[in-house]
Chains A and B, each alone.
Chain A
Amino acid sequence: MSHGTSDELQARVTGLLGGPNVMGNSPAFWAGLAVAVALLAALPVLFGYYAAEIGSVFLAYALLAMSLAFIWGYCGILSFGQVAFFGIGGYAFGIVAINVSTMGGLTLGLVTALVVSTLFAAMLGYFMFYGGVRDVYVTILTLVVALVLHTFMGQTAGGEWAVGDARLGGFNGMNGVPDLGIGVGLIGYEFGIAAHYYVTLGAVVATYLGLRVLLNSRFGYAIVATREDETRTEMFGYDTTFIKFAVFTIGGAIAGLSGVLFTTQNNYIDPSVFGITAAALPVVWASVGGRTSLLGTVGAALAIQFLDYRLAISGSEWALVVIGSLLVFVVLVIPEGIAPGLHDLVVSRRSRSTSAESPGSDGGANAEEVSD
């Protein structure tokens, strides 16, 4: 392999992953990201199974966080109901996997959960965007959907609320959801704690890279254009209704996947995932971390959930007070969120000191957050 082609390959990969629509395009950023992922990968080795168990849940949340950053930060659709797809994914997996108790059932459960949550997001998105529902009404409707699911699942305590062997269980939740696994018929592999952790980490990294590719494609430019000025984008001949519909659906699919990863880690899901507190969390992560930065949102999700966990095990009840105050404080002081705020700071400082150098790295800042 000659030197020329490898340079060409590198240029093509960078062109695919990088661009003006996303933050972090410098070699320093990629090096920082690689270090952060390596540190996360070393977590179970360094701290053992228990850390992997907790870490899996945090990473599933990070995936949910990314789904909101993608639709809100890049397309301007503020959904307060990402947890609806999250919960539907979790419940759908549970129902299928409990009923089909073979290895094939696990694969079927995963596929069904993804299909159901994606279809649900597509239906809701179709109804809203093609129905002319806009801005703040989208936000309210998505929240109402989550709250209604909360009420609905909460009243399923009776024995008649069962799908085959899977009892929905009302506020007591659905117990005995199997681990994540893959297989056909009776043959397959069921992921243990460490394997589940690496699958979740892999899903987070793959989703991050995938969304970067999407956002830097032609479609990605149309997504960002829709956020910036919908009428003008429509004048240029883009179908902004379809763009919003598609973005919302993709966001729902990612949230559904995160719900499966969450439920299979806990082997349990209950209606509180649809509740108002749970619904607020993705919005907190995206607002604090910075919705226009996928990694910022991921970092905020990991950091805030870690803080929440530390406060909870120390017996403190103050976690929600701290998280809520943090949200209010960040939106009032740094409306765009921490990561874009830092990014702007770094860029403006660098352009002041060396005006010719090309700006655009927030690798240090993000890597620091991710390693939390």
Chain B
Amino acid sequence: MAGVGLLNFGFEFLEIFAFIVLATVGLAVIFGMMGIINLAHGEFILVGAYATTFAFAAGLPLPLAMLTGVVLTAVFGLVLERLIIRHLYGRLLDSMVVTWGISLVMIQLVRIAFGNAAPGIGIPFGELPVVDGPAYYLVLGVLAVGVLGGLYALFMWTDFGVRARATMQDAETARSMGIDTDRMYMSTFAIGSALAGFTGALYAPVMTITPQYGTGFLVEAFVAVVVGGSSVIVGTLLASGFLGSVNAVFTNVTESTFIGLVAMLLAAIVTIRLMPDGITGFLETVRQRWGENR
């Protein structure tokens, strides 16, 4: 019996962990790499979800429908970057305010265009044996880890990653070294948008899709970005692991998802109080101090 309980707990953790990682990752890439806080992040996720659900309703198989969602969100992000976002580089607060305006417009436009409900998609893969829940959440967990790994490889090991990081660190020097910085900004924003679209697509079968769909991801995403700190990918991983386990423990013990959420937020608040620069910022200081003492 204890074994089943443990398995259930592990499953619950995986479910929450995957949700936080996937909710955060698009926002974290755009914030960490470009210094733009995208308050329309939830609505980028919304675009992915709507595109997926309508493509699926039109008869496409689910993987292709999800791909449609990702591609459409990336294109949407690209257009927005060219029209509006590129004027806001280096204006952090303005970027938040403007993207919030975009978010208001999009929620309402979606409501006007599609009404308050969208066609649903059934959860694929069926139920798991032993553990209480659908197998699809296991897939989400694997994908969440896969996305983080893929991003790490992309930004650390490829030529594109080096160029992108150089642009973000010092755009002028990067330009003088022959990097097309404008294109780097564009593609990084498109990657962040695509990731948001991917999240929307993945959660389209699980959550009811309404114009407010994107708002459901916001709290977890922002909390994880703040707790994770400046180092995007490692930060997202650590923050999601930490917040996810707090949430899973409290949800499991009290059997109330709401108390789990509150416990997670309190943990986040205490973390920020102790480490204002987030977990990765704290680790960086520790590492530096350790280096000095040797």
A-side interface residues toward B, CB under 8 Å?
78, 80, 127, 131-137, 139-141, 143-144, 147-148, 151-152, 155, 276-277, 280, 283-284, 287, 317-321, 323-328, 331-332, 335
8 extra interchain contacts, Cβ-Cβ under 8 A, other than A78-B96, A320-B105, A328-B101?
Answer: A136-B96, A137-B272, A140-B222, A280-B100, A283-B97, A317-B108, A324-B108, A327-B100
Are A127 and B226 also in contact (CB < 8 A) when A151-B219, A324-B105 are?
no
The residue that B226 contacts in the complex, of A140, A287, A317, A335, with Cβ under 8 A, is: A140
Does chain A have a CB within 8 A of B177? no
CB distance from A227 to the nearest CB of B (A): 12
Q: Give B31's nearest chain A residue, CB to CB.
A: A136
Contact B107 A133 (CB under 8 A): no
Q: Is the CB of B101 within 8 A of A324?
A: yes
- Taking a contact as CB atoms under 8 Å apart, the answer to whether A317 and B101 are in contact is no
* A287→B105 contact, CB < 8 A: no
Please, which residues of chain A bring their CB within 8 A of the CB of B109? 321
Residue of A131, A136, A321, A335 touching B37 (CB-CB under 8 A): A136
Please give the residue numbers on chain B whose beta carbons come within 8 Å of chain A beta carbons, in ascending order: 37, 84, 87, 91-94, 96-98, 100-105, 107-109, 111-112, 215, 218-219, 222-223, 225-226, 258, 261-262, 265, 269, 272-273, 276
CB distance from B20 to the nearest CB of A (A): 14
- Minimum CB–CB distance from A145 to chain B (whole Å) comes to 9
A contact residues around B215 at 8 Å (CB): 147, 276
What is the CB-to-nearest-CB distance from A79 to chain B, in angstroms, rounded to a whole number?
A: 11
Contact of B102 among A134, A326, A328 (CB under 8 A): A328
Query: Please, could you name 10 A-B residue pairs with CB atoms under 8 Å apart, sorted by A?
Result: A135-B93, A140-B222, A140-B225, A144-B265, A148-B219, A276-B215, A317-B108, A321-B105, A331-B94, A332-B98
CB distance from B229 to the nearest CB of A (A): 10
Asked if A280 and B104 make an inter-chain contact with CB atoms under 8 angstroms apart, the answer reads: yes
Kindly state the separation between the CA atoms of A155 and B273 in the bound complex, as whole angstroms.
28
Q: Is the CB of A323 within 8 A of B104?
A: yes
Does the CB pair B272–A324 fall under 8 Å? Answer: no
Complex contact B273–A139 (CB within 8 A): no
Question: What residue of chain B has the Cβ atom nearest to residue A335's Cβ?
Answer: B94
Q: How far is the CB of A115 from chain B (nearest CB, A)?
A: 23
Q: Which residues of B contact A147 (CB under 8 A)?
A: 215, 218-219
CB-based contact B219/A324 at 8 Å: no
- Nearest opposing residue in chain A for B276, CB measure: A132
Q: How many pairs of residues, A versus B, come closer than 8 Å at their CB atoms? A: 105
Q: Are A318 and B269 in contact (CB under 8 A)?
A: no
Residue ID in chain A nearest B257 by CB atoms:
A155
The answer to whether A318 and B100 touch (CB under 8 A), given A135-B92, A141-B226, is no
B96 A332 Cβ-Cβ under 8 A? no
- Interface contact A148-B96, CB-CB below 8 Å: no
Verify A318–B84 contact, CB threshold 8 A: no
Taking a contact as CB atoms under 8 Å apart, the answer to whether A321 and B108 are in contact is yes
Nearest-neighbour CB distance to chain B for A346, whole angstroms, equals: 24
Q: Which residue of A lies closest to B101 (CB)?
A: A327
User: What is the bound-complex CA distance between A131 and B269, given in angstroms?
Assistant: 10
CB of A287 within 8 A of CB of B104, answer: no
Residues of A within 8 A of B103 (CB): 276, 280, 324
- Contact yes or no, A328 B98, CB < 8 A: yes
- Are the C-beta atoms of A331 and B97 separated by less than 8 Å? yes
Give the chain A neighbours of B37 by CB distance below 8 A: 136, 139-140
Would you call A328 and B84 a contact (CB within 8 A)?
yes
Contact B272 A131 (CB under 8 A): yes
Partner of A284, one of B94, B101, B269: B101
A331 near B112: Cβ-Cβ < 8 Å: no
Please name all residues of chain A whose beta carbon is closer than 8 Å to the beta carbon of B84 when the two chains form the complex: 328, 332
Shortest beta-carbon distance, B196 to chain A, in Å? Answer: 16
Residues of A with C-beta under 8 A to B223: 144
Which residues of chain B are near A140, meaning CB under 8 Å?
37, 222, 225-226
A133 to B93, CA, bound (A): 15
CB distance from A340 to the nearest CB of B (A): 15
Q: What is the bound-complex CA distance between A131 and B215, given in angstroms?
A: 28
Cα separation A325 to B273 with both chains bound (whole Å): 36
A133 nearest CB neighbor, chain B only: B276
Bound CA–CA A133/B108 (angstroms): 33
Q: Are A134 and B93 in contact (CB under 8 A)?
A: no
A276 to nearest B CB, angstroms? Answer: 5
Question: Do the beta carbons of A133 and B102 come within 8 Å of each other?
Answer: no
